Amino acid sequence: MIETYIIEQLAAVAKYGTLSRVAETLHISQPALTRSMQKLEDELGVKLFERSKNRITLNKLGELAARHAEVVMTAHYEMIRAVQEADRQSRTFSYGSIAPAPMWEVTPILSQLYMGMTVSSDLQENDDVLVRGLDDGTYKIIILTHPLDEEKYFSCEFLHEKLYMLLPKSHRLAGRPSLQLKDLAGENILIHSKIGFWYSLVKEKIPDAKFLEQHELSTLREIVKTADIPSFETNVSIVGDSLPKNKVMIPFDDSEVDVKFYCICKKENRQELTALYSALKMN
């Protein structure tokens, strides 16, 4: 049985070459190292060093021991990392969503429901990634625009989101009572880059449009306010009356951009999530 501190010191000796350098980096004295290495040789019953009066170097056996010391220390640190990570995970409620809007509703509820736990939300553009994450335990729940009908899942509708176009009053389409996506063909449109499935949806359905992407939500809102460029809003993206005076908000007729969100969990976890589902029903 070799104590950890000695194994660590051996690894450091192999790495830094001289005892004095190791003493510096480990913040201990040189004599302490001398004794540690002597003790190590003693416990193993083996010579690990070539010693001249003023020089100590690992011999072949010592290098072997040092390589093994590295392995032991790696396992050691991996143990600490894994345990602390598992602990962190156990204190984290992690979920994934196909769009940002549901997260605005779900995250506050979870924070209140699981007080003291970290709520971690993950916005994805792809259904499959989310379902896989739910299966492997990465996510406790996922939010999609459709239920999962397989027996092992439980799905519950909880939110409705509908897309609108925000147009300058001067825009050629600003007078329309409603729009179709294809009407926007060829337009310049301001768009946020982190909007889950919406991103690929509108890019696919509005041909030849030029999307001006913004990564920062606050920046995007600022530009929307000041620039005469079309942009998107939804029934839930408009908080209060933040609608700029010089713009009009026109609904789309297309059914693809009128979606319902479903909160989905594994059936085996439904029990412990009743509080969440009740809270979602309230709204």
Q: How far is 125 from 200, CA to CA, in rounded Å? A: 8
CB 27 to DNA: min, Å: 6
# residues contacting DNA (CB under 7 A): 25
CB 272 to its own copies: min, Å: 15
Q: Which amino acid makes up residue 256?
A: E
21 binds DNA (CB under 7 A): yes
CB 64 to DNA: min, Å: 19
CB atoms near residue 253 (< 10 Å): 12
Residues forming beta bridges with residue 265, ordered by sequence position? 141, 154
CB 87 to its own copies: min, Å: 5
Tokens linked to 235? 């029934």
**Is 240:152 a contact under the CB 8 Å cutoff?**
no
The contact pattern for DNA, residues 51-90, with x = CB under 7 A and - = no contact, is xxxxxx----------------------------------
Which of DNA, its own copies, none does 21 bind, CB closer than 5 to 8 A by kind?
DNA
Place of tokens 């001289």: 18
Closer by beta carbon to its own copies, 11 or else 166: 11
Which of its own copies, DNA, none does 156 bind, CB closer than 5 to 8 A by kind?
none
Q: How far is 181 from 153, CA to CA, in rounded Å? A: 33
CB 140 to its own copies: min, Å: 16
- Residues lying near its own copies in the complex (CB under 8 A) are found at 1-5, 7-8, 44-46, 48, 60-61, 64-65, 68-69, 71-72, 75-76, 78-80, 82-84, 86-87, 90
19 binds DNA (CB under 7 A): yes
Residue 117 DSSP label: S
User: According to CB under 7 A, which residues from 29 to 48 bind DNA?
Assistant: 29-32, 34-39
- C-alpha closest to that of 161 among 114, 201, 210, 126: 201
- C-alpha closest to that of 48 among 58, 33, 35, 56: 58
Which of DNA, its own copies, none does 56 bind, CB closer than 5 to 8 A by kind?
DNA
- C-alpha closest to that of 140 among 104, 100, 107: 107
CB 17 to DNA: min, Å: 7
Q: H helices within 188-259, ranges in order?
A: 197-205, 217-226
3 binds DNA (CB under 7 A): yes
Residues forming beta bridges with residue 97, ordered by sequence position? 123, 143
Number of H helices, E strands in the chain: 9, 11
Which of DNA, its own copies, none does 117 bind, CB closer than 5 to 8 A by kind?
none
Binding residues for DNA (CB under 7 A): 3, 5, 18-21, 27-32, 34-39, 49, 51-56
